[in-house]
């Protein structure tokens, strides 16, 4: 009888762990970032498209908002953005992402530069 209870407990624990949202699904939503010079907003859709924009907080001679859109996908801890517009060169960005909690993610570029995004509610 004890063996059955332990086996059932282990199955329940495994099911609870399997129900946790995948890191990719945690990206879906609208996110913002800001530092001393720039700010931006990006929306990841469940259909793996995104729209976003960034703007300078210190320069006034450029367009007020540089917008772009494209497709995204995540594998493990790697986020890949494929841009459609002309605002980004190169057209493909590969970033390492870390989910801190439901409202904060960190993106790390190959150069090591990190950007923290905060979920907009």
Chain segment 60-82, per-residue pLDDT in tens: 666 667 889 999 999 989 999 99
What would the mean pLDDT of 90-98 be, rounded to a whole number? 92
30 pLDDT higher than 90 = yes
> What is the C-alpha separation between 108 and 1, in angstroms, rounded?
51
pTM of the shown model: 0.75
* Pairing verdict, β 29-34 and 104-108: unpaired
Mean pLDDT of the chain: 82
> What is the C-alpha separation between 57 and 81, in angstroms, rounded?
24
β-pair partners for 96: 78, 108
89 pLDDT higher than 90 = no
pLDDT of residue 82: 95
86 pLDDT higher than 60 = yes
Q: Which two tokens stand for residue 87?
A: 């605002």
**Secondary structure string (H, E, C) spanning 25-83:** HHHCEEEEEECCCEEEEEEECCCCEEEEEEEECCCCCCCCCEEEEEEEEEECCEEEEEE
pLDDT band at residue 54 under the 50/70/90 scheme: confident
pLDDT of residue 19: 53
Domains, the chain: 21-119 (2.40.128.280)
What are the pLDDT digits (tens) for 3-20?
A: 555 545 544 444 444 455
């Amino acid at each position: 009888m004890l063996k059955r209870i332990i086996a059932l407990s282990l199955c329940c624990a495994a099911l609870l762990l399997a129900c946790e949202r995948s890191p990719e699904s945690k990206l879906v939503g609208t996110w913002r970032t800001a530092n001393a010079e720039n700010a931006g907003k990006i929306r990841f859709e469940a259909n793996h498209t995104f729209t976003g924009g960034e703007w300078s907080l210190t320069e006034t001679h450029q367009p007020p908002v540089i917008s772009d859109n494209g497709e995204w996908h995540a594998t493990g801890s790697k986020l890949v953005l494929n841009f459609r517009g002309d605002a980004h060169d190169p057209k493909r960005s590969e970033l390492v992402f870390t989910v801190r909690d439901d409202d904060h993610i960190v993106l790390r570029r190959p150069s090591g530069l990190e950007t923290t995004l905060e979920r907009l509610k």
